[in-house]
Chains A and B, each alone.
Chain A
């Protein structure tokens, strides 16, 4: 079994105190390096992540998931010598085994970017409305990025160091998910999609994006 000592898990963290400890503990045996970017949480998320064994980078004020992700990327690129970084959601909807397989795929096929996609197989059970919204997001993202992805706004991605160094997200809020695809696409580095299982627990459903939020994302993307 290959070790993943040269990979860092980047976890944007905002008010997930009830689950972040378990998420970090579940990932630690596979990924020894985990950085949680605490985006100004008002609960004990940071302490829980730290107690579970993650490194915590702390935003003094809440900026949004995109900003937290960019801080995590900046940390890995400037302060570690990691070869790969894995973006991973804090709410426990991603599988560590998927992340591990994606890093392995990146190594085997010398890929710079591996996007997780929940629509490549039928493991993920999404509601009808969620599917419609996500498919629309995919279409919009594909129109603007030139990549042909089957999923957008999927937080599970493996990014090699050279690709990560060329990412500079300025979309602080949810529109970063399209922006990161755009910027990674522009690197022209080899990429692949990988089928992942997104687990919609009651917890993550309660935190999920609303239909109205997709309006915000569109506006953010148009009026930069």
Chain B
């Protein structure tokens, strides 16, 4: 009887994780791959919960001692792929931030040169230096 309860709790947990994971958005192809993997994961986990000996059988089939070890190996691989995915996503985000910052910087200079005020506080003696250098040189 106790076994049924823990099985129920774990199955509900898996369902909750599955629903949460599908809610994230990314580009379509990656999302499709992730969903296929997710369905496989849900099925395998559910099978392992309902038939506790299933994992051990699977482990012996591929030459690993125990089902627990198999889960650990799978976890390591999952973690590494997570790190790789996150690294790529971080790189992409870095590039987006860089592009954005660059656009703002260049737009700000254009405004400044067109004589518009910017939110950048001018240097205290900016007036005198502007007088020293020919403004036409500052313009393309």
Binding site for B on A (CB under 8 A): 5, 32-33, 37, 46-48, 50-53, 55, 57-61, 63, 67, 70-71, 74-75, 78-81, 170, 172, 223-224
Please, how many angstroms separate the alpha-carbon atoms of A57 and B108 in the complex? 8
- Chain B: interface secondary structure? helix
Whether B129 pairs with A52 at a CB distance below 8 angstroms is yes
At the interface, yes or no: B94 with Cβ under 8 Å from chain A?
yes
At the interface, yes or no: B30 with Cβ under 8 Å from chain A?
no
Which residues does chain A contribute within 8 Å of B3, judged by CB atoms?
Answer: none
Which residues does chain B contribute within 8 Å of A63, judged by CB atoms?
Answer: 97-98, 101
- Chain A: interface secondary structure? mixed
7 contacts between A and B (CB under 8 A): A32-B133, A37-B105, A51-B125, A57-B109, A60-B104, A61-B101, A75-B109
Please, how many angstroms separate the alpha-carbon atoms of A51 and B91 in the complex? 36
CB-defined interface of B96-140 with A at 8 Å, one 1/0 digit per residue? 011001101110111000000000111111100100111001101
Whether B94 pairs with A172 at a CB distance below 8 angstroms is yes
- Smallest distance from the beta carbon of B122 to chain A beta carbons, Å? 7
Name the contact of B106 in the complex, choosing from A5, A61, A79, A172 (C-beta under 8 A): A79
Name the contact of A59 in the complex, choosing from B101, B122, B124 (C-beta under 8 A): B101
- Smallest distance from the beta carbon of A220 to chain B beta carbons, Å? 10
